[in-house]
Amino acid sequence: HDNDYGNNGKVYRDNDVDIVPIGSTDNPQGYAVGYTVAGEWLNYSIKLNDVSNVEITCNLSSGSDDSRLLLLIDDKPVIDTFKVENTGNWDTYKEVSLGSADLAAKGITKGEHTLKLMIAGSYVNVDWLKFSEKTTSAKKPELVMDSPVEYKVFNLQGKPVAVFPARPSEVTDKF
C-alpha cells in the first residue's frame, strides 16, 4: 500500500511502489523500496522452513532519525517496532539485525505465509530482508587461576583415588 500514486523513484518499473536505485541512476547496483512514509506497507509471499528460532536481518538506509519498521506474518507482529539508525544519508546502506523471534511461540507454523513490511516511521529505504536460523555460539570455557589448586578424584564409593595439583603456569586453554 503506497500513500501516493506512481513511482517517486522513477526507476525499475511503473507502478505505485516507490523504487530507488542503489548507487548511480545510470549504473545502479540494485534497487530498493524508497520514499517511504508512515502507514505504507508491502506484502510478500514467503515460505518458512524453520519457525523455532529465527534471526531477521535487513539491508537499509535512512537519512532520518525517526524511521521505523514493523514486520508481521499473517498480521501477527514478529518483532517489536524497530527504530532504524540514521545511516548518514539515503545512499549509505547498512546490514542490520532487526532481532530474533520464536515464530512457533507466536502461533506461526512452517509453510506458506504473508509477510507484511510496515513502515511505522517515515523515510527508510529497504533493500532486502533475510530470515535465517539463529545460531547460538557457545563461549569457550576459560579457566583462571591466581594460586595453586589441588583437584581430588574419588571413586563411586567416595574413596579418594588421585590428587592432581595445578599451578597457574600449568593451565592451558585446551579442554
pTM of the model: 0.73
For the beta carbon of residue 163, count every other beta carbon within 10 angstroms.
9
CA atoms of 72 and 70, how far apart (whole Å): 7
Torsion angles phi and psi, residue 104, rounded to 5: -60, -40
pLDDT at residue 171 in the model: 47
pLDDT band, very low/low/confident/very high, at 144 (cuts 50, 70, 90): low
Torsion angles phi and psi, residue 109, rounded to 5: -105, 170
What integer is the mean pLDDT of 65-77?
96
Considering 6-20, 112-126, 134-148, the range whose residues carry the highest mean pLDDT is 112-126
pLDDT higher than threshold 90 for residue 86: yes
pLDDT at residue 143 in the model: 57
pLDDT tens string 88-134? 999 999 999 999 999 999 999 999 999 999 999 999 999 999 999 87
Tell me if 103 sits within 8 A of 52, measured CB to CB.
yes
Mean pLDDT of the chain: 87
Cell of 114: 504473508
Rounded (5°) CA angle 113-78-39: 90
Within 8 A by CB and 6+ apart from 81, the residues are 68, 69, 70, 120, 121
Cell of 72: 508481521
